[in-house]
Amino acid sequence: MLMSNDEKRIWGIHTQDDNLFLKNNVIAIGWSDMGNLNNIDANRDAFKEKYMQIYPNAKKGNIANGAGTLYRFRHEVQIGDYIVFPSKSNREVNIGVVEGEYIYDPNQVEYVQTRKVKWLKHLPRMDFSQGALYEIGSLMTLFSVKNYADEFLGALDKNFKKKALSDFEDESIGATADDIIESTKDFILKELSRQFKGYDLEGFVADLLRAMGYRTTVSPQGGDSGIDITAYKDELPPRILIQVKRQHGDVKETTIQSLKGAMREGDYGLFITLSNYTKNAQKYLDSTPIIRGINGTELVDLILKYYDDLSDKYRKMIPLKQVYIPVPKEE
């Protein structure tokens, strides 16, 4: 007997072996070295401890993700739960229901952790909204489907396909595109903070300015001027004096005033930070037109705009790939 709609849990799952899932009517995950999960105490800490024993060189994030996935598969997935599996081989969305308890299958080469599933429907990806497809495109192996759970459950209705193709207006496209863009911007900002320590950020900013058409000179490390980069648009003035701050806290007014103190008549100033500015600092910038402040968000926008013209060195440190994403139609 199936659970009521309010109680139904939906899990998304990914695999590299579509045939195993669809032909054997199972879902399965790997980590064969972990052995039989029934032999591990039924709590997350025990799974983490076992994971660290088996994979002593695993990074902290991988430990949490791997152990969490194994625990969910063994103890949280239940008979009657629904499964949404996007297959890569035929680009269909397969929806099924869990019919069996956890089984350890040592005869499998890789996917030894298994559960029996009854596949109920195999639908083209185009039957679903972009938001629903984005949710099941999670990078995790096993994950809870929440935001578009009703849409996947609705796909089990016999009239779903007709409804989807006739009067379906995909209102999720804009939100999905925004999510992808914001995720990319978050990634860039985190990589800037992680990759560039100390004076390394100055070199990156100088290269970005070069990509924007400026000639730049990076000041020697430990200089007393407080100026990190000097830039010119062409051979003639004005000179642009640039200060770069990697600090996590907001930049204060006094810090910007020190940049102004290093400027001569005719100079322009540029202050760049990965964080933001205090209210007083922003007021000071607004009232001082010869100094411009760029915060972390604005810096990321410039990186995206001039990314193709950055040096290979920096594009390898912040690896991005140009893709096309759906956007709402213009009115």
- Do residue 235 and residue 298 come from a single domain? yes
pLDDT score of 90:
83
Q: If you average pLDDT over residues 65-94, what whole number do you get?
A: 94
- Do residue 223 and residue 191 come from a single domain? yes
How many residues are given for the chain?
331
- Do residue 14 and residue 162 come from a single domain? yes
- Do residue 193 and residue 131 come from a single domain? no
Q: Give the helix, strand, coil percentages of the chain, each rounded to 5.
A: 40, 20, 40
- Is 96's pLDDT higher than 50? yes
pLDDT score of 223:
59
| Model pLDDT for residues 203-225, shown as the tens digit of each residue | 999 999 999 999 999 998 765 56
Under 8 Å between Cβ of 253 and 271: no
Q: If you average pLDDT over residues 97-103, what whole number do you get?
A: 97
pLDDT score of 197:
76
pLDDT score of 324:
80
Instruction: Locate the DSSP E strands across 174-254.
Output: 215-218, 229-232, 240-245
- Do residue 158 and residue 251 come from a single domain? no
Which of 142, 170, 198 is the endpoint of a domain?
A: 170
- Is 56's pLDDT higher than 80? yes
Number of domains the chain contains: 2
Residue 261 maps to a domain: yes
Residue 331 maps to a domain: no
Instruction: Look up residue 161 and give its amino acid.
Output: K
**Single pTM value for the model:** 0.62
- Do residue 115 and residue 195 come from a single domain? no
Which structure tokens are listed for 103?
A: 């089984």
pLDDT greater at residue 165 or residue 226: 226
pLDDT score of 2:
44
Sequence-ordered alpha helix ranges (H) in 196-295: 200-211, 253-261, 279-286
- Do residue 258 and residue 309 come from a single domain? yes
Residue 239 maps to a domain: yes
- By residue range, what is the domain housing residue 97? 10-170
pLDDT score of 171:
61
- Is 46's pLDDT higher than 60? yes
Q: What CATH number did the domain enclosing 204 receive? A: 3.40.1350.10
Q: How confident is the model at residue 196 (pLDDT cuts 50, 70, 90)?
A: confident
CB atoms within 10 A of CB 250: 16
Nearest residue to 176 via CA among 213, 139, 145, 136: 136
- Let me know if 210 is exposed, middle or buried by CB neighbors in 10 A (0-12, 13-18, 19+): middle
Residue 177 maps to a domain: no
Residue 219 maps to a domain: yes
| Model pLDDT for residues 294-321, shown as the tens digit of each residue | 999 999 999 999 999 999 999 999 999 9
Q: Which residue has the tokens 């994979």?
A: 55
- Do residue 140 and residue 194 come from a single domain? no
49, 189, 318 from 60: Cα distances, Å: 12, 21, 22
pLDDT score of 183:
85
Total H helices, total E strands in the chain = 12, 12
pLDDT score of 331:
58
Which of 144, 170, 196 is the endpoint of a domain?
A: 170
- Do residue 221 and residue 155 come from a single domain? no
Q: If you average pLDDT over residues 164-178, what whole number do you get?
A: 60
Q: If you average pLDDT over residues 48-68, what whole number do you get?
A: 94
SS3 143: strand
- Do residue 95 and residue 231 come from a single domain? no
Residue 292 maps to a domain: yes
- Is 164's pLDDT higher than 50? no
Range in 60-64, 99-103, 119-123, 130-134 with the lowest mean pLDDT: 130-134
Residue 53 maps to a domain: yes
Average pLDDT, the chain: 89
- Is 177's pLDDT higher than 50? yes
| Model pLDDT for residues 248-307, shown as the tens digit of each residue | 788 999 999 999 999 999 999 999 999 999 999 999 999 999 999 999 999 999 999 999
pLDDT score of 230:
95
Instruction: Locate the DSSP E strands across 30-81.
Output: none
Q: How confident is the model at residue 169 (pLDDT cuts 50, 70, 90)?
A: low
Using only C-alpha atoms, the chain has a radius of gyration, in whole angstroms, of: 27
Which of 170, 195, 218 is the endpoint of a domain?
A: 170
Q: At CB < 8 A and 24+ separation, what contacts does 176-182 make?
A: 176/130, 176/131, 176/134, 176/325, 176/326, 177/325, 177/326, 177/327, 177/328, 179/134, 180/134, 180/325, 181/325
Q: Which residue has the tokens 């990759």?
A: 195
